[in-house]
């Protein structure tokens, strides 16, 4: 004769087993993003920081100055001034808490023979290719001889300032 | 036949409640990483700074001269294609309102294959 005792225990056991299986399935599925999911979030923050720094550098400090610091930097090839301003604005130097950010900056122009050249401005460290860098850019209109050894007089040119920045 | 023991039913019920709440918490944790990643990805993918910057440089340039400098125009278009992967074009017209008020009217187009942006701008 079949013993029908303990049916409630059986049902409870089956229900508990199902819940445990489902939970295990969810937990195993949860960490299946193998590239660290928050890498993009810190990339985004770094990009915003770099864009803001470049935007500040492209703003004239007061109304009596017509050219922004960034324009002057490109026109006079003043790489060390770029370095000082950029590291200051990204909180690498200066007062307060510091960031460990490295940068490599260049500007791009088009020569009269339509070749495109990117001379370096300055960098805090060489790019070796292994860094996880983000790229921020800024358009600047400068009055400059491009290429620098050109025989033509300086004229208004649009150049693209490009900065790679990454954390150590 | 053994009599079904119906003691401790409240304890069993509470046990079910706790297991279900754990289940839903696991569901939330399961989704959270995906949500954070896809949000950050779409923010990175949208070229907000590129668009803002190209629009700014064109307007700044227009304010200075009131007409398109051919050299700057070609710089912007060629460098956009080569270095930003974006097709940019713009027109600029200086217009007169009753011979007294001069203003610039500009159409700016930007397309990087994912995002298309057009702006119709009139200076004061």
Strand ranges of the sheet holding B87-97, from the earlier edge strand across to the other edge:
B87-97, B101-111, B116-122
In chain A, where are the structural domains located?
40-167
Q: Are B113 and B52 in contact (CB under 8 A)?
A: no
Contact A114 B78 (CB under 8 A): yes
Average pLDDT across chain A, whole number: 87
pLDDT band at residue A39 using 50, 70 and 90 as cut-offs: low
Positive or negative, the Cα torsion across B2, B7, B8, B9? positive
Kindly tell me if the per-residue pLDDT of A37 is higher than 60: no
User: What angle (nearest 5°) sits at the alpha carbon of residue A60, between those of residues A56 and A62?
Assistant: 120
Residue A115 sits at the chain B interface (C-beta within 8 Å): no
pLDDT band at residue A72 using 50, 70 and 90 as cut-offs: very high
For testing contact with chain B, the best of A50, A141, A162 (most B CBs within 10 A): A141
Kindly tell me if the per-residue pLDDT of A35 is higher than 70: no
More confident of the two residues A13 and B62 = A13
pLDDT of A80 reads 93
User: What angle (nearest 5°) sits at the alpha carbon of residue A70, between those of residues A68 and A75?
Assistant: 100
Using one digit for the tens of pLDDT, what is the confidence trace for A108-125? 999 888 889 899 999 998
Q: Which two tokens stand for residue A92?
A: 């690498």
- B18-39 mean pLDDT: 83
Contact A47 B2 (CB under 8 A): no
pLDDT of B12 reads 87
Contact B79 A3 (CB under 8 A): no
Identify the H or E element spanning B79: helix B70-79
Q: Which long-range contacts (CB under 8 A, 24 or more apart) does A1-10 make?
A: A3/B1, A3/B2, A4/B1, A5/B1, A5/B2, A5/B4, A6/B2, A7/B4, A8/B4, A8/B5, A8/B6
Using one digit for the tens of pLDDT, what is the confidence trace for B75-111? 999 999 999 999 999 988 887 777 778 888 889 999 9
Percent of chain A with pLDDT over 70: 93
Using one digit for the tens of pLDDT, what is the confidence trace for A123-168? 998 888 888 899 999 999 998 888 888 888 888 889 999 999 998 8
pLDDT of A104 reads 94
pLDDT of B93 reads 84
pLDDT of A139 reads 94
Count other C-beta atoms under 10 Å from residue A159's C-beta.
25
- A29-44 mean pLDDT: 67
Residue A6 sits at the chain B interface (C-beta within 8 Å): yes
Q: Which two tokens stand for residue B58?
A: 């064109």
Contact B72 A51 (CB under 8 A): no
Three-class DSSP category at A134: strand
The ipTM, to two decimals, is: 0.71
pLDDT of A41 reads 76
Q: Is B71 exposed, middle or buried (0-12, 13-18, 19+ CB in 10 A)?
A: middle
pLDDT of A73 reads 94
Residues 54-113 of B with CB under 8 A from A: 54, 56-57, 60-61, 64, 69, 71-72, 74-76, 78-79, 82-84
Instruction: Using only the alpha carbons of chain A, give its radius of gyration.
Output: 28
pLDDT band at residue A69 using 50, 70 and 90 as cut-offs: very high
Contact A44 B4 (CB under 8 A): no
Three-class DSSP category at A38: coil
Contact A43 B34 (CB under 8 A): no
pLDDT of B18 reads 94
Residue A108 sits at the chain B interface (C-beta within 8 Å): yes
């Amino acid at each position: 004769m079949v013993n029908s005792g303990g049916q409630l225990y059986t049902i409870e056991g089956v229900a508990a087993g199902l819940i445990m299986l489902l939970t295990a399935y969810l937990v195993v599925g949860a960490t299946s993003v193998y590239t660290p999911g928050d890498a993009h979030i810190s990339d985004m923050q770094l990009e915003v920081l770099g864009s803001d720094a470049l935007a500040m550098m492209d703003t004239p400090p007061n109304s009596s100055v017509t050219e922004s610091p960034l324009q002057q930097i490109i026109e006079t090839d003043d790489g060390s001034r770029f370095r000082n301003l950029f590291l200051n604005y990204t909180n690498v130097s200066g007062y307060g808490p510091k960031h460990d950010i490295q940068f490599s900056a260049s500007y791009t122009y088009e020569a009269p023979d339509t070749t495109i050249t990117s001379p370096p401005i300055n960098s805090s460290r060489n790019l070796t290719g292994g860094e996880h860098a983000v790229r921020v850019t800024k358009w600047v209109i400068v009055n400059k001889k491009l290429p620098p050894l050109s025989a033509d007089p300086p004229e208004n040119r649009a150049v693209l300032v490009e900065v790679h920045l990454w954390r150590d | 036949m053994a009599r079904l023991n119906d003691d401790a039913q409240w304890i069993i019920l509470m046990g079910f409640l706790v297991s279900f709440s754990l289940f839903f918490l696991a569901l939330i944790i399961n989704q959270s990483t995906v949500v954070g990643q896809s949000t950050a990805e779409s923010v990175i993918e949208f070229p907000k700074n590129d668009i803002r910057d190209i629009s700014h440089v064109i307007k700044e340039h227009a304010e200075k001269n009131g007409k398109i400098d051919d050299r700057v125009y070609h710089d912007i278009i060629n460098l956009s294609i080569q270095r930003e992967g974006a097709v940019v074009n713009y027109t600029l017209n200086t217009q007169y309102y009753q011979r007294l008020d001069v203003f610039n009217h500009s159409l700016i187009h930007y397309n990087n294959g994912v995002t298309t942006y057009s702006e119709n701008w009139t200076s004061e």
